[in-house]
């Protein structure tokens, strides 16, 4: 990792060697020169002061990079699990602010739509993921997306990595949804080396609209190289907006074997060891991004936010410890994201922002951070930039986790209280630390009077044993252990009323139809995923 060089800028200073004297110099001459020197210093100070004022009143336009890691668990980083190896995530935390109440949705497509629209997905029918296979499903084309706002403000817009918001018609794909550049894939899951889905004709990788054929290069490396080239070769007259939606660390669980052998041999559990290798490669890509921003001299003029799209899946070696549940659940472990923001504008670094922030908030917040004016109507997201700058946790006071009327799960938050109707998870409703932690954790005490050794680590809690009305104090009990439903009946009634209000904007779930025509395209050598099989 290259160290950022300190550049003090062009400074004018005086020392004894700057002055030459002749034998004919008099006291008057000396006084005149001293007076003149003081005037010059004063003038220079005035110029520097005016320059500082100008820079504060007319700030440089900021580049904006949204780095979204796929299926990264809350404990899939070195800060939460010391056995993981994520030096660049740790460095980003030191240089920026970590969010300990950053929320996303329970699975991929809803989170992506929330970030790009600043609207709750349940308000336009994206409360669950139906964009897969031959399903006729996509992100509503009437919704204005993040890159469109940025283009209006003179930005060059890039989408790198995973799309997963519809591709059965080309008008649903990134280049028609506000992006100038697109490098990556349309679908939800690919092999990291063969860039194909599970079917025999499912290759899915593009540069712009053209199929980009590669076999054998690890996906994280492909994306990192593209990002580097895009930054180096950018149009320097325009700021950059990049939506960097990594494939890592979604399954299939494939890591570079040399990385696993070199970086992660100390992890005994095979799934966790493979995941360590996958996370490390993604972390190196994050480091590559930092390096090129520094080498191009634009690191302090760039806002980088790193977040996960949902909790980690237990079946893929992920861990959301000490939070409850996993990916796809409405438990904290399914919807609380490891999130870090770095910006040269931050007043406080290596610190934690304890306020709530939701995926819908990033669009208005990052626009404000970039010196732009975010939309003031039509969004669910809030501009929280000033709260982040001042580390003031009073910005957002309530939000909707999600409303899934297909499975009758509804969760909301107001201040410290989380209220749910319906069981938040279909399976994996317990607490699941990384395997290496279990022996020592069984003898430790957490959350005041709770002995975690009393919990059956790694065992599921059946849905039938979970109340369909849940009330948790998340500030005091982020692990969602103590259901307060019977203790605070008035609070339950208050939250029920609030939920009814939010339900008024629910767009009812409609199961997606399936395409009857072929959704695989062919060229002379192989089949690939492609548009042209629906009319949105």
CA neighbor of 517 nearest in space, from 536, 535, 533:
533
CB 369 within 8 A of CB 301: no
- Res 450: pLDDT: 44
Domain end, chosen from 396, 429, 463, is at 396
Residues 200 and 167 in one domain: yes
Residue 495, domain member (yes or no): yes
Among 396, 425, 447, which residue terminates a domain? 396
186 and 115 share a domain?
yes
Does 179 lie in the same domain as 146?
Answer: yes
Which two structure tokens, joined as six digits, stand for 168? 């059965």
Buried b (16+ CB within 10 A) or exposed e, 434-462: bbbbeeebeeeeeeeeeebeebebeeebe
Q: Report if residue 78 sits inside a domain.
A: yes
Q: How would you class 210 by CB atoms within 10 Å of its CB: exposed for 0-12, middle for 13-18, buried for 19 or more?
A: exposed
- Which distant-in-sequence residues (6+ apart) come within 8 Å of 84 by Cβ? 76, 77, 78, 276, 279, 280
What pLDDT sits at residue 47? 38
Q: For the domain that residue 90 is a member of, what is the CATH number?
A: 3.40.720.10
Give pairs for 151-155: CB < 8 Å, separation 24+.
Answer: 151/178, 151/180, 153/367, 153/372, 154/61, 154/238, 154/239, 155/64, 155/238, 155/239, 155/240, 155/241
Q: 476: domain CATH number?
A: 3.30.1120
50 in a structural domain: no
Q: Are residues 169 and 289 in the same domain?
A: yes
Per DSSP, the chain holds a count of helices (H) and strands (E) of: 12, 20
Residue with token string 């699941």: 432
Phi/psi for 85 (5° steps) reads -125, 100
| Structural domain contains residue 494 | yes
Choose the final residue of a domain: 340, 366, 396. Answer: 396
Residue with tokens 């290596």: 350
Give the pLDDT score at 456: 57
User: Do 142 and 251 fall within a single domain?
Assistant: yes
Residues 480 and 388 in one domain: no
Q: Do the Cβ atoms of 219 and 226 come closer than 8 Å?
A: no
* Beta bridge mates, 242: 65, 158
| Domain shared by 190 and 339, yes or no | yes
DSSP secondary structure letter of residue 49? H
Q: Where are the beta strands (DSSP E) in 44-116?
A: 63-69, 97-99, 102-103
385 lies in the same domain as 479: no
C-alpha to C-alpha distance for 460 and 325, rounded to whole angstroms: 9
Is residue 258 situated within a structural domain? Answer: yes
346 and 310 within one domain: yes
Q: Which whole-number Å values give the CA distances from 260 to 76, 144, 426, in the listed order?
A: 15, 42, 32
Closest CA to 461 of 331, 336, 337, 338: 331
- Residues in the chain with pLDDT values less than 50: 1-59, 445, 447-454
For residue 83, what are the domain limits? 63-396
Residue 532, domain member (yes or no): no
Tokens of 295: 């080498």
> Given this model, what pLDDT does residue 460 score?
82
- What is the sign of the dihedral through the CA atoms of 118, 124, 129 and 132? negative
Q: What pLDDT does 523 receive?
A: 65
**Residue 139: predicted pLDDT:** 98
Domain assignment present for 530: no
Question: Coil, strand, or helix at residue 9?
Answer: coil
Give domain status of residue 405, yes or no: no
Looking at the structure, tell me whether residues 214 and 322 fall in a common domain. yes
What is the DSSP secondary structure assignment for residue 266, as one 8-state letter? T
Instruction: Report helix, strand or coil for 415.
Output: coil
Same domain, 341 and 443: no
pLDDT digits (tens, 9 = 90+) for 5-50: 333 333 333 233 332 223 333 343 334 443 444 444 444 444 333 3
328 and 245 fall within a common domain: yes
- Considering its fold, how many domains does the chain have in total? 2
């Amino acid at each position: 990792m290259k160290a950022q060089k300190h550049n003090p800028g062009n400074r004018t200073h005086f020392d004894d060697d700057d002055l030459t004297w002749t034998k004919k110099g008099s006291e008057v001459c000396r006084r005149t020169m001293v007076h003149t020197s003081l005037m010059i210093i004063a003038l220079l100070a005035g110029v520097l002061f005016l320059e500082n004022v100008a820079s504060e009143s007319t700030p440089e336009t900021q580049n904006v990079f949204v780095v979204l890691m796929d299926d990264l668990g809350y404990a899939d980083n070195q800060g939460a699990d010391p056995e993981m190896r994520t030096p660049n995530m740790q460095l980003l935390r030191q240089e920026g602010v970590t969010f300990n109440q950053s929320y996303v949705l329970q699975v991929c497509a809803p989170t992506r739509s929330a970030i790009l629209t600043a609207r709750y997905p349940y308000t336009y029918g994206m409360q669950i993921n139906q964009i897969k296979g031959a399903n006729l499903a996509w992100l509503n084309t009437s919704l204005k997306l993040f890159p469109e706002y940025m283009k209006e403000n003179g930005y060059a817009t890039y989408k790198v990595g995973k799309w997963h918001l519809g591709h059965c018609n080309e008008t649903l794909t990134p280049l028609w949804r506000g992006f100038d550049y697109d490098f990556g894939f349309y679908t939800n899951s690919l092999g990291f080396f063969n860039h194909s889905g599970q079917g025999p004709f499912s290759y899915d990788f593009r540069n712009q609209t053209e199929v980009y054929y590669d076999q054998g290069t690890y996906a994280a490396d492909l994306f990192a190289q593209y990002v580097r080239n895009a930054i180096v070769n950018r149009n320097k007259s325009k700021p950059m907006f990049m939506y960097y939606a990594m494939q890592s660390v979604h399954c299939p669980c494939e890591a570079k074997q040399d990385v696993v052998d070199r970086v992660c041999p100390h992890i005994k559990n095979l799934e966790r060891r493979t995941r360590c290798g996958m996370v490390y490669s993604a972390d190196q890509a994050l480091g590559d991004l930092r390096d090129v921003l520094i080498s191009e001299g634009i690191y302090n003029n760039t806002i980088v936010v790193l977040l996960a799209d949902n909790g980690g899946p237990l079946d893929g070696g992920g861990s959301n410890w000490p939070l409850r549940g996993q990916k796809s659940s409405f438990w904290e472990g399914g919807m609380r994201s490891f999130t870090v923001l770095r910006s040269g504008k931050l007043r406080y670094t290596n610190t934690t922002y304890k306020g709530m922030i939701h995926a819908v908030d990033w669009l208005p917040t990052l626009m404000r951070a970039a010196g732009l004016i975010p939309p003031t109507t039509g969004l669910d997201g809030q501009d929280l930039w000033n709260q982040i700058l001042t580390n003031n946790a009073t910005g957002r006071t309530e939000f909707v986790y999600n409303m899934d009327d297909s499975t009758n799960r509804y969760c909301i938050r107001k201040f410290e209280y989380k209220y749910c109707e319906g069981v938040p998870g279909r399976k994996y409703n317990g607490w699941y630390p990384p395997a290496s932690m279990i022996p020592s954790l069984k003898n430790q005490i957490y959350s005041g009077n709770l002995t975690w050794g009393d919990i059956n680590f790694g065992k599921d809690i059946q849905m039938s044993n979970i109340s369909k009305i849940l009330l948790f104090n998340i500030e005091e009990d982020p692990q969602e252990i103590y259901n307060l439903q019977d203790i605070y009946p008035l609070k339950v009634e208050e939250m029920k009323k609030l939920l009814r209000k939010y339900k008024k904007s629910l767009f009812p779930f409609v199961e997606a139809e399936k395409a009857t025509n072929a959704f695989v395209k062919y060229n002379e050598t192989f089949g690939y995923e492609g548009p042209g099989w629906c009319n949105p």
